[in-house]
Structure 1
Amino acid sequence: MTTTNSEDRLALRELVENWALWRDAGDWDRFASVWDPAEGWMTATWFQGPAAEFIAVSREGFDSGVSILHFLGGHTSDIIDDRAIAQTKMTINQRASIDGVEVDVVCTGRFYDFCRRNDGEWKVVRRQPIYEKDRLDAVDPTVRLHLDRGLLERFPTGYRHLAYVQTKAGFTVKTGLPGLTGETVRCLYDEGAKWLAGSDTAGDPH
């Protein structure tokens, strides 16, 4: 049976909120504490790898002025014993420059987190965002922005503009990440069900 312990649900919600607050504030020591120390894995448009490496490159970007912020919405979690799948509505906000034009890109989706309780504390084993839709606006609405349609259409609709901005900024952006519908997100849900059922690994993040 799925656990309905309200304390666990509150702890998982706090875990996700701490991730966003500490990462965006550059509080790197506390940010490291939200991850499973042995298996923590982060997948993003611009990064896929161990949590320790994600923390390092996030810190480098933060120190060099990269502006990526996260805002959270509704949250739910499925819990069985010491494992959980937490889903949290979120937006990713990035400010950058495209061909000399300052822009804001906003991507809406969900954080899909494979979590495990170790020594009484919940930790993130794997984070896989789900990218549902995005948009791009010039900060100055009087400025006309011209986009490369070929580059824009290389990426899925759920994070097309975010990927465009990040590619222009020099990042290598992964294609084929899960969106609102489709085979990729269905595979992710299947991995989540297997995790709750006791799978040895939190899916295949690679």
Structure 2
Amino acid sequence: MPTHAEDRLAIRELVENWAVWRDAGDWERFATVWHPVDGWMTATWFQGPAAEFIAASREGFERGVSILHFLGGHTADIAGDRAVAQTKMTINQRSVIDGVEVDVVCTGRFYDFCARHDGEWTIVRRQPIYEKDRLDVVDPASRLELDPELLARFPVGYRHLGLAQTKAGFTVKLGLPGLTGAAVERLYVEGTEWLAGSATAGNPH
């Protein structure tokens, strides 16, 4: 059996592979990070099975949607063949708002429900936690005025990201976990229950 240290390294590699293969458009290898039956992704712009997320990501990649991920500190709680991993991350999206090119940077954590499948660690459910974000115009000489009503529609953790994605034609989900609040507290409970043997990885729907 793998040691605890080996499991930690494998889970960290799993999380890193997700970011590198997804952003590079390496779709065949990207599919291997997910649990083949239960894989589920929740994001601002997508909620559904991993296979559908891969297809949607690929379609966006091929038409030039620019969403990149960068990773930071990492920790994992492991209980047998299950784990909950948390990884500091940023989501970087380049977009055009009202004719002005912008970069939106959202800082948070990937909160991953993981399980060993056929001896390999896989992601059963990924739920980002959105802590704060910002928007910058790419050309400093450009001027952009944001719609305050649209901006106020979204939680503070992904306010600018939500606005940019809405302007790009995405339907953005409200009420996703932030740094504090009921949604993230519920997520922590679901993570604890997952490690204790719950039948499902919380309720992402």
Return the TM-score normalized by structure 1. Answer: 0.98
Change (3 A) 1:33 1:146: same
Q: Would you say 1:166 and 2:165 are equivalent positions? A: yes
Tell me, yes or no, if the aligned pair for 1:114 and 1:195 is still in contact at 8 Å: yes
| 2:63 match | 64
> CA shift at 1:202, angstroms?
0.1
Letter in 1 for 2:197: G
Tell me, yes or no, if the aligned pair for 1:4 and 1:79 is still in contact at 8 Å: no
Letter in 1 for 2:137: A
Q: Give me the whole-angstrom Cα distance separating, in 1, the residues matched to 2:24 and 2:46.
A: 19
Q: Give me the whole-angstrom Cα distance separating, in 1, the residues matched to 2:128 and 2:19.
A: 13
Q: Give me the whole-angstrom Cα distance separating, in 1, the residues matched to 2:119 and 2:3.
A: 16
| 1:117 match | 116
| 1:148 match | 147
> CA shift at 1:4, angstroms?
7.2
Letter in 2 for 1:10: L
- Pairing 1:186-201 to 2, within 5 Å after superposition: 186-201=185-200
Tell me, yes or no, if the aligned pair for 1:36 and 1:123 is still in contact at 8 Å: yes
Q: Deviations over 1:137-175 (max 9, x none)?
A: 100111111100000000000000000000000000000
Count of residue correspondences: 204
Tell me, yes or no, if the aligned pair for 1:76 and 1:88 is still in contact at 8 Å: yes
| 2:127 match | 128
Letter in 2 for 1:181: T
Q: Secondary structure at the match of 1:205?
A: coil
Q: Give me the whole-angstrom Cα distance separating, in 2, the residues matched to 1:151 and 1:184.
A: 21
Letter in 2 for 1:159: Y
> CA shift at 1:115, angstroms?
0.1
Q: Give me the whole-angstrom Cα distance separating, in 1, the residues matched to 2:118 and 2:54.
A: 23
Q: Give me the whole-angstrom Cα distance separating, in 1, the residues matched to 2:50 and 2:117.
A: 17
Q: Secondary structure at the match of 2:78?
A: strand
Letter in 1 for 2:87: T
Letter in 2 for 1:21: V
Q: Would you say 1:53 and 2:52 are equivalent positions? A: yes
C-alpha root-mean-square deviation of aligned residues, in Å? 0.9
Q: Give me the whole-angstrom Cα distance separating, in 1, the residues matched to 2:3 and 2:79.
A: 9
Unaligned residue ranges in structure 2 (runs of 5+) = none
Change (3 A) 1:49 1:158: same
Q: Secondary structure at the match of 1:6?
A: helix
Return the TM-score normalized by structure 2. Answer: 0.98
Change (3 A) 1:64 1:100: same
